[in-house]
Amino acid sequence: MEPRTSCVEWAVVDSDIGPLLLAATDAGLVSVVFHADEKVRGKALEMLAARLGAELVEVPEPIPASSRLAEPVRQFAAYFAGTLRKFDLPLDWSLISGFNRQVLRELNDGVPYGAVVGYGDLAARVGQPGAAQAVGAAMGANPLPVVVPCHRVVESDGGLGGFGGGLETKRVLLALEGVLPQPLF
């Protein structure tokens, strides 16, 4: 298979939930990685290089307007400031396929800001009732968290369920969107 892109631009940006690694190809945003300290960043970049077969190019701060990351960085800042409710970015879905891609696209298109959906309900939406555990696996494989809002998927009994970024990160995102109360301190 030929590489999809000649290079992947990446940068680590600060956010309300810690450092995020953002990466984009010529097709769009391809990866968002939580808790992007040096160790996490190294593993994520190795995976991107191997999976995409592309040169990785770090974008210096401040992010230049000409960068593929300029608009994602702007939209993340607006989201965390509470002024953006829906990301409007080109997305590169090449890191996910099959059932997982189908589930994540349904989540992206069908669960708006401030709403939640159960794992089983999401499975039913893609025509696979009873596949709640597989939906959980798809959430764990989401290469574009926050933008493709896997934090909005919860257990049918109201429990938070799991989250690749950690439950505290999930709580912060759901509080930002008004689903959960803001913490007192």
If the chain, 185 residues long, is cut into consecutive pieces of 10 residues, what is the mean pLDDT of each piece?
69 96 97 97 96 95 95 98 97 97 97 96 96 96 98 92 93 95 73
Let me know if 150 is a catalytic residue.
yes
Q: pTM value?
A: 0.93
Burial environment of residue 77 by CB neighbours within 10 A (0 to 12, 13 to 18, 19 or more):
middle
Work out the angle between the directed axes of helices 132-140 and 98-110 (0-180°, nearest 10): 90
Sign of CA dihedral 9, 100, 34, 40: negative
**Active-site annotation holder among 150, 153, 173, 176:** 150
Task: Give residue 80's Cα distance to chain centre.
Answer: 14
